[in-house]
Amino acid sequence: MDPLARYDPIVADPEAFRAACERPLPSVVRVNGIKATPDRVARAFEAAGVGFEPVGWHDGLFRLADDVSPGNTWPFVHGWVYGQEEVSALPARVLDPDPGERVLDPCAAPGSKTTQLAALMDDEGLLVANDSNLGRLSALRANAERCGVTSVAVTNADARHLSLKSFGGSERRSEARRTTSDGVEPFDRALVDVPCSCEGTVRKNPDVLEEWSPSHVEGIAGVQRDILGRAVEVTRPGGTVVYSTCTFAPEENEAVLDDVIADHDCQLVEFDLDVEHVAGVAEWDGDRYDPSVRRAKRVYPHHNDTGGFFCAKLEVAA
């Protein structure tokens, strides 16, 4: 079974979609605002003879020349930049955390979105970066240290059953936060970038299609539902949760959202993306979802010459 062929009914231009999936993915770096500015990085790249060009929708992203590896540049070594796929930079911007807030990143390793969140928060507040895979925490810690992040608390737990007690920090908005029934001090925001079938990464990892199977999609969707549901439970009333994946599968995207908004006191809200995209799908393979799932955004590889991505924004009921 060709995993990509199953999406012909929901992709407006299947040929362009397939062709884009077969092209190599451009190499992109994100400027780490804790240590540098886009102008400073641009000057450093020019001085080092590194070929690059700015990404139009985000002044803190640079596409590198084909012969450049991000990890071999000295701005990378010094934590000025982070090698991050272009569309991977979207969900943190959608979450839009403020300095001083309590923010949860339940599936954090190896740290691309964690370090981006920290920079958006001016490295102020509390950023809990959790991952269930103990072996990946060393990469998360190393990347946070390289990028100069000091506001992060790294934890190792199953994100489906997070039971994080208070990590301290500011007591502002304490009345809005309160504590949950199991003693967790709620977060202001959560970025839920879950493990998935990774079809959207096919341009940099063609093997994902060979490893794809319907049973894996079905199994991982259950995990995703539990992680997103728990994130909603530990986010304060009126708080924001962003859900994202790098897969095209509605079973892992809209179906997960449909289940979570039915079982938890939250709703999907509108938001803007700075890149070309299409709305979420409300019907798939005989199933119908809550119409609000169309507020989610799908980014296909042929839209912006990127990987594939899915993103949705939820608000916890006040």
Q: Which residues are catalytic?
A: 246
Contact between 199 and 209 under an 8 Å Cβ cutoff? The reply is yes
Q: Which residues pair with 128 in a beta bridge?
A: 104, 153
Buried b (16+ CB within 10 A) or exposed e, 116-141: bbbbbbebebbbbbbbbeeebbeebb
Query: Helix, strand, or coil here: 63?
Result: strand
Pairing of strands 58-64, 81-83: unpaired
Q: What is the DSSP letter of 121?
A: T
Q: Which residues pair with 29 in a beta bridge?
A: 62, 83
How many other CB atoms are there within 10 angstroms of residue 165's CB atom?
10
Contact between 301 and 203 under an 8 Å Cβ cutoff? The reply is yes
Pairing of strands 297-299, 278-279: antiparallel
Q: Where are the beta strands (DSSP E) in the chain?
A: 28-31, 52-55, 58-64, 81-83, 102-105, 126-130, 152-155, 187-193, 235-245, 266-268, 278-279, 283-284, 287-288, 297-299, 309-316
Structure tokens at 75: 């701005």
Please enumerate in sequence order all residues whose Cβ is within 8 A of that of 230, keeping only pairs 6 or more positions apart, or say none. Answer: 106, 159, 160, 161, 162
